[in-house]
Amino acid sequence: MRNPTYLEISRHRVFYFRWPLIKPCAAGSGTATSLKISLGTRVGSEALSLARHLSYVGQALMKQWSASGMRYDEIRASLRKHFQELLARRKSEMAAQGRLSVMHVGALQNGVGFAEEAIATGADILPHISDDALAIEFAEKYCLPLAPGSNAFETFKVEMRKAYRAFCAEVLAHDQSFESYDFDETAIPSASTFAKPASGPRHTLADAAAEFMAELHRSDAWVKRTEDQKRQHLELLSEILPGIHIDQVTSVDLQRVKQVLLNYPRNRNKVEATKNLSIDELLQLHGHDKLSVRTINSYLQTYAGLFSWAKRNRYVSENLFDGASVKESKKQAEAAQREAFSQTQTDLILSELLNNHRGLINKDYQKWGPLIGLYTGARLNEICQIELSDIKEDAGIWYFDINDEGDKKHLKNTASRRIVPIHDQLLALGFLEYAEGLRARGQKRLFPEFSLSAKEGYGRALGRWFNDRFLVQLGIKSKELVFHSFRHGMVTRLIQAGVEENLVKAIVGHTRQGVTQQHYFKEGYTLEQMQKALREF
């Protein structure tokens, strides 16, 4: 006789009935997972009859238990315990390894935004798994009486979204706490308050800045727009600190630079009232539009780059601008954190690109440009300068070879040079057929209608159409949501799906961190590894 799974025979040939207390309970959780009762018989038919009756009773009790659901305070307590453990783990990791990477900060910031949208609309928190599935997994892990479709189940999903939002915010707050120190006693200025002159010839700040710019121009490190921006930043620095040698710059000068930037007018040289004012006169201005915190920090990053270069060349012994930044207010940070399209917005964009409900898609690039952005996370100009010869295949995997070889192509940095598998969805939508049609017509570039702009590369037409018309017509245009949001979305969702950070960086063209990655992993990730990761998107 074949015994049912709930019947067992002891070494004395006595039948026992074993019944799971609840299916989700995992072994080793510290809670009994089953009930074992002796049936007091060695006769198989008797044991089977008794076991069937007991199993019926057990099923009825399980159904009643599940239907009873959970109290509201029990739901919150279970979520609190779960996310407290996750938070403690994150804090421990930061204590051992240091602060979060920019990529992880971005993912958490987007996580807050996605959770807020989920709370407001009932949408799923994560794009790759439904909230129903998350709730079921949670119930199974912690043995909770949550029956799908019950009131308790729906309440749990609502509270889960709130808890996830709070968790992301707590991790970000903990990371931000490392931004400063809090001492009980007044800090005593150290000898490093002032930069010590380095050995070697002395250079004025303006001369050093000019040499810095010339060297980077020769190395072709920046696109023209970025180079012009950096030059403007450095011209302002020389105006704030005129005639000074670079090795004479002190922390006092650093504070003056910050003071000027905090009151610096937007579009100073374009506004009649401000273009001829001196630095001291600018400091006295009131009621004008000022630079955003992000723009101020971009100036400070330029200055940090200059002083880092000067230190390498022994013009200074210390980079006083290293780590210099202006902290955003909570309101500003919240306004700037939504840089990725939400899942609802992504679905709307995708539907319009594929179905053209509003008649906005009139040219091939208006369809394929955003689709490539969505499914690769590539930069706008990287997409717009793709040549047909950059679409390649290796061992059955089609990929984009993103490079700066060809007709006036340009990449942001060395890490931008990479290969990216063509997503399965692009293949299914007929991308290869589109490219083959261009080859048949004798074209060399994927988007032959794009002309080169000195400041914006090949991406000007697509960027303007997408940002200023397409998003506006869809009703989702904001300062934070632009074509580049596809890139943030790719990073956010791959990290949320558990893809290793350096693999994400390899896909989107960010510099990988760590000695192992930079010096011993020069071959990089394989196409198979990247393809598997992209399938998580």
Domain extents for the chain? 7-68, 72-179, 195-326, 343-534
- Residues 19-60: pLDDT tens digits? 665 444 444 444 445 667 777 777 777 777 777 766 666 665
Which amino acid makes up residue 274? Answer: T
The yes/no answer on whether domain 343-534 falls in CATH 1.10.443.10 is yes
Share of the chain above pLDDT 70, in %: 82
What is the pLDDT averaged over residues 211-238?
84
Number of other CB atoms surrounding residue 220 within 10 Å: 11
Supply the mean pLDDT for the chain.
82
Q: What is the rounded distance in angstroms from the CA atom of residue 152 to the CA atom of residue 516?
A: 48
pLDDT at 111: 83
Instruction: Give the number of other Cβ atoms within 10 Å of residue 520's Cβ.
Output: 9
* Cα→Cα distances 102→38, 107, 118, 416, 505, Å: 60, 9, 24, 17, 11
Query: What pairing do the DSSP bridges indicate for beta strands 418-421 and 397-402?
Result: antiparallel
The span from the CA of 118 to the CA of 131, in Å, is 10
Predicted confidence band of residue 329 (pLDDT cuts 50, 70, 90): low
Whether pTM exceeds 0.75: no
d(CA 7, CA 1) in angstroms, rounded, equals 12
Highest-scoring range by mean pLDDT, 151-165, 422-436, 507-521:
422-436
Q: Minimal CA–CA distance to 132: which of 168, 112, 160, 111? A: 160
The interaxial angle of helices 131-142 and 151-176, nearest 10 deg, is 90
Q: pLDDT band at 207, cuts 50/70/90?
A: very high
CATH architecture of 195-326: Orthogonal Bundle (1.10)
Residues 426-447, mean pLDDT to the nearest whole number: 95
| Alpha-carbon distance values, 53 to 6, 17, 37, 60, 91 (Å) | 12, 11, 13, 11, 51
**Is the CB of residue 347 less than 8 Å from the CB of residue 489?**
no
Identify the bridge partners of residue 141 per DSSP, sorted by sequence position.
Answer: none
Indicate the pLDDT class of residue 68, thresholds 50, 70 and 90.
Answer: low
Q: Are 358 and 473 in contact (CB under 8 A)?
A: yes
pLDDT beyond 70 at 496: yes
Give whichever of 181-185, 212-216, 279-283 has the largest mean pLDDT.
212-216
Q: Which amino acid is at 517?
A: Q
Helix ranges (DSSP H) in 420-500: 424-428, 431-440, 460-465, 471-474, 485-496
56-78 burial, b if ≥16 CB within 10 A, otherwise e? eebeeebeeebeebbeeeebbeb
Written as six digits, the tokens of 471 are 């998003």
Contact 341, 491 (CB under 8 A): no
pLDDT at 29: 47
Average pLDDT rounded to a whole number, residues 76-94:
90
Q: How confident is the model at residue 432 (pLDDT cuts 50, 70, 90)?
A: very high
pLDDT, tens only, 402-418:
998 876 788 877 788 99
CB contact set of 38 (below 8 Å; sequence gap of 6+): 10, 14, 15, 16, 17
Q: What is the mean pLDDT of residues 186-199?
A: 47
Closest CA to 229 of 305, 282, 283: 305
As a whole number of angstroms, the distance between CA 291 and CA 258 comes to 12
Distances (CA, A) of 11 to 44, 50, 221, 285, 318: 15, 20, 77, 92, 78
Which residues have C-beta within 8 Å of that of residue 120, sequence separation ≥ 6?
Answer: none
Give one DSSP letter per residue of 61-102, joined into a string: HHHHHHHH---HHHHHHHHHHHHHHHHHHHHHHHHHH-SPPH
Q: Reply yes or no on whether the pLDDT at 287 is more than 60.
A: yes
